[in-house]
């Protein structure tokens, strides 16, 4: 116990000496004559000189831009493909759709759950991460086994989403190019 406290004290003193050793006896920004009195002007000057940052700038550069709203073709296609399943969690900003457990009437003790994570808003094969889970229960949902399904169902689901998203994007681009050409029903 004593050795742990003494190691912590030594580490703390080493850190303090490291930080204080870098000081030349002058504190940066100590001359008030070089900086404007108005805080807004000080911020502008600091940003121009590269001495400041804004939290908004940091958030914008964090992983790209994601438009997971109804205008996003990938998002819309995913919801259309799994529209027969009840949704458990949908997070537009986080880019994830999770369905609730779904079972058809022919196998009531077996159900599936789908999770779709959006890795980018571009329509490409690595844009989605699809996971399908299986639940098999006995004794009326008291004893259940869960497993992740790998294979063709997962691949086909991803393919169908990408295909629909490509169609939505093509239709959207056609509408932008030729706004006067409305589809007649």
> Is the pTM for the entire model greater than 0.85?
no
Mean of the per-residue pLDDT values of the chain: 76
Residue 52 in this model has a pLDDT that exceeds 90: no
Residue 65 in this model has a pLDDT that exceeds 60: no
For the chain, the DSSP string reads: -HHHHHHHHHHHHHHHHHHHHT--S--TT--GGGS-SSHHHHHHHHHHTT----HHHHHHTSS-----STT-HHHHHHHHHTTTSPEEEEETTTTEEEEPPB--TT-TTEEEEEEEEES-SS-STTSEEEEEEEEEEETTTTEEEEEEE-SHHHHHHHHHHHHHHHHHHHHHHHHHH-TT-PPP-
pLDDT at 46: 63
Residue 57 in this model has a pLDDT that exceeds 60: no
pLDDT at 62: 43
């Amino acid at each position: 116990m004593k050795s742990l406290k003494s190691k912590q004290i030594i580490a703390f003193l080493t850190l303090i000496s490291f930080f204080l050793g870098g000081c030349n006896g002058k504190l940066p920004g100590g001359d008030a004559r070089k900086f404007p009195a108005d805080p807004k002007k000080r911020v502008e000057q600091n940003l121009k000189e590269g001495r400041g940052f804004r939290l908004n700038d940091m958030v914008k550069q964090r992983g790209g831009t994601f438009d997971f709203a109804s205008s996003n073709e990938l998002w819309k296609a995913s919801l259309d493909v799994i529209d027969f399943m009840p949704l458990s969690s949908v997070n537009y900003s986080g880019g994830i759709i999770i369905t609730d457990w779904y079972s058809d009437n022919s196998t009531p003790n077996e159900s599936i759950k789908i999770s779709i994570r959006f890795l980018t808003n571009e329509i490409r094969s690595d844009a989605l991460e699809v996971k399908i889970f299986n639940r098999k229960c006995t004794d009326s949902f008291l004893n259940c086994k869960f497993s992740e399904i790998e294979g063709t169902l997962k691949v086909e689901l991803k393919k169908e989403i990408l295909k629909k998203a490509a169609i939505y994007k093509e239709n959207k681009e056609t509408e932008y190019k030729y706004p006067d050409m409305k589809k007649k029903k």
